[in-house]
Chains A and B, each alone.
Chain A
Amino acid sequence: MSVVTVFFPSVLHAKVGQQAAVTVKGHTVREVIDALEDDFPGLRFHLCYETGELRPFVNIFVQRINIRSLQGLETPVPPGAKLQILPSVAGG
Chain B
Amino acid sequence: MSAAQHSYPPGTVMLALGTKRGLFLVTSQDRVHWDVQATTLQGRRVFNAILDQRAGRRLFAAENGDFFGAFLRYSDDFGQTWQEPKRGIQFPPDSRLKLQNIWVVEPGRQDEPDIVYAGVDPASLWVSADRGETWEPNHALLSHPTRDRWEPGAGGLCLHTIIADPTNPLRMWIGISAVGCLRTDDGGQSWVFANKNTRADFLPERYPEFGQCIHRLVQHPTRPEVLYQQNHCGIYKSLNAGEEWQDIQQNLPSEFGFPIALDRQHPDTLYVMVEDPQGRHNIGSQLTVYRTTNAGESWEPLTKGLPSGTQVKLGVLRHGLCTDGKDPCGVYVGTNTGQLFASSDGGERWELITDFLPPIYSVTATILGEA
Contact = CB atoms under 8 A, between A and B. Distances in A.
Secondary structure dominating the interface of A? loop
B66 interface: yes
Nearest to A58: B67
Contacts, number: 40
Contact of A46 (B68, B93, B98): B68
A71 B91 CA distance: 26
Contacts of A50: 90-93, 95, 97-99
What is the interface residue range for chain B against chain A?
10 to 19
A33 to B, nearest CB: 13
Contacts of A49: 98-99
B98 A12 contact: no
A52 B67 contact: no
A52 to B, nearest CB: 7
A12 B84 CA distance: 13
Given A46-B69, A58-B67, A52 B93 contact: yes
B166 interface: no
Given A50-B90, A50-B91, A55 B96 contact: no
Contacts of B97: 50-51
Given A50-B90, A50-B91, A57-B67, A42 B84 contact: yes
A69 interface: no
B88 interface: yes
Contacts of B69: 45-46, 55
Nearest to A11: B68
A45 B98 CA distance: 11
Contacts of B84: 42
A58 B68 CA distance: 7
Given A47-B68, A49-B98, A52-B93, 14 more contacts: A45-B69, A45-B88, A46-B69, A49-B99, A50-B90, A50-B92, A50-B97, A50-B98, A50-B99, A51-B97, A51-B98, A57-B66, A58-B68, A88-B67
9 contacts: A11-B67, A42-B88, A45-B69, A46-B69, A47-B68, A50-B97, A51-B97, A55-B67, A58-B67
Interface of A: 11-12, 42, 45-47, 49-53, 55, 57-58, 87-88, 90
